[in-house]
Copies of this chain bind each other. A is one copy, B any other.
Amino acid sequence: MSIVVVGTLGYDTVETGIERVEGVVGGSASFFAIAARFFSPVSIVTALGSDFRADHQRIFAERGIDMRAVVTRDGPSFRWHGRYHEDFARRETVSLSFNAFAGFHPDLLPDQRRADYVFLANVSPDLQNHVIDQLSSPRMVGVDTMDHWIGDSRAELIDTLKRIDLLVLNESEARMLSGEHHLVKAGRALMRFGPKIVMIKRGEHGVIQMTADSMYIAPAFPVEAVVDPTGAGDAFAGAVMGYLARVGRTDEPALRIAAVYGNIMGSFTVERFSLDRIADLSWEEIDRRYREFIEMTDTNQARWNSQ
C-alpha cells in the first residue's frame, strides 16, 4: 500500500566539526521518502521554492516517488543550517527558514485523501491537523515533531496527538513533551496524549518502542564512521511506515521488524552527507545489514540451545 508524506524538501548546510557542506538536499520529506520507497510507493506533499533545482527534483522522480502534489512557489526553498558538537552528541540549529514552505496548506489529491498510510513529518501541528482533516479512513497516521513546535504550539500539538496512531520523536523531544526524564515514563505519558504507538529515537543508542501492552528496546546498528546524522530520524520513520505499509499490518511483531528496518535505514543515512548514501542503496545492502542486526542482537538463539 502507498504512503503519503507531508514534510519539507529543501537545502541544508551542515557543519560536523570535521567537514562543512552547503546547499545539499535536505528536509524531512526527502529522507523519509527515499527510505520509505524501498518498501512501498510514496507520494510527497510539499512546497518548493523556485530555486530548487530540476536535477534535485529528479532524484525523487527517477526513484519512482510520486511528485504530483509538489508545488513550486516564488522565492527560496526551505533551508536548515545545523552544527554538530561533541562527536555528534549535541546538535545546534544555526538557522531555520521555512521560506516557500511557510504557510503551506495543501489540498490533497483525491487518491491521497483515501491513503491508508500517512506521515506528517516535522511540520507545524496546524498543518498536521489540516492534513488529517482531509483523510477519509487512514489505517495509520504517523507524526514526528520537534522542540520548536513543542515549545511554541504545544496546545495544537496535543490536539494532533489525539488523532494519530504513531508518534516518532527523539529522546530530548520525548522528555520535553512529556515532562518526564526517564524514557519509559516519558513514553507512557506520551501514549496518554493519544497515539497507540510511541517510538523514541535515541540516535546511536537505538530505539524504545511502546504500545499499550508492550515495550521493545533495540540498540542501534553500530556504524563505524558517522559522517552526518542529519536525516537519520526521518529515514527511520520512512522505513518504519514503509515496512508497515508493505506488510499491511500494525501488530506488535510487525512493529518490531519495522523498528529494526528504521534503525538500519538510519544507520546508512549517517554514513554520508544528505541523501548520498541512501539514494542508491541496494535492497541487498539493506537486507544484509538487517540480518547482521538480528544476528548481533539475538539473545534467544541462546535460549533454544541452552536453557
Task: Tell me if A256 and B296 are in contact (CB < 8 A).
Answer: no
Confirm or deny: A59 has a beta carbon within 8 angstroms of a beta carbon on chain B. no
Task: Tell me if A306 and B182 are in contact (CB < 8 A).
Answer: no
Task: Tell me if A299 and B298 are in contact (CB < 8 A).
Answer: yes
Question: Within residues 239 to 283 of chain A, which ones have a CB less than 8 A from any CB in chain B?
Answer: 247, 249, 252-254, 256-257, 260
Task: Tell me if A257 and B307 are in contact (CB < 8 A).
Answer: yes
Question: Within residues 197 to 236 of chain A, which ones have a CB less than 8 A from any CB in chain B?
Answer: 205-206, 208, 215-219, 222, 224-225
Confirm or deny: A294 has a beta carbon within 8 angstroms of a beta carbon on chain B. yes
Minimum Cβ distance to chain B for residue A214 (Å): 8
Confirm or deny: A184 has a beta carbon within 8 angstroms of a beta carbon on chain B. yes
Minimum Cβ distance to chain B for residue A293 (Å): 8
Q: A298 to chain B: which residues have CB within 8 Å?
A: 256, 299-300
Q: How far is the CA of A181 from the CA of B224 in the complex (A)?
A: 10
Tell me the nearest residue of chain B to A224, going by C-beta.
B182
Q: A307 to chain B: which residues have CB within 8 Å?
A: 257
User: Which bracket fits the contact residues of A?
Assistant: 35 or more
Tell me the nearest residue of chain B to A185, going by C-beta.
B224
Question: Given contacts A247-B306, A260-B299, A307-B257, are A218 and B219 in contact (CB under 8 A)?
Answer: yes
Task: Tell me if B297 and A218 are in contact (CB < 8 A).
Answer: yes
Question: Within residues 126 to 140 of chain A, which ones have a CB less than 8 A from any CB in chain B?
Answer: none
Task: Tell me if A222 and B217 are in contact (CB < 8 A).
Answer: yes
Confirm or deny: A158 has a beta carbon within 8 angstroms of a beta carbon on chain B. no
Task: Tell me if B257 and A302 are in contact (CB < 8 A).
Answer: yes
Confirm or deny: A90 has a beta carbon within 8 angstroms of a beta carbon on chain B. no
Confirm or deny: A303 has a beta carbon within 8 angstroms of a beta carbon on chain B. yes
Confirm or deny: A24 has a beta carbon within 8 angstroms of a beta carbon on chain B. no
Q: A218 to chain B: which residues have CB within 8 Å?
A: 219, 297, 299
Lowest 7 A-B CB distances belong to which pairs?
A: A253-B302, A256-B302, A253-B305, A217-B219, A257-B302, A184-B222, A205-B205
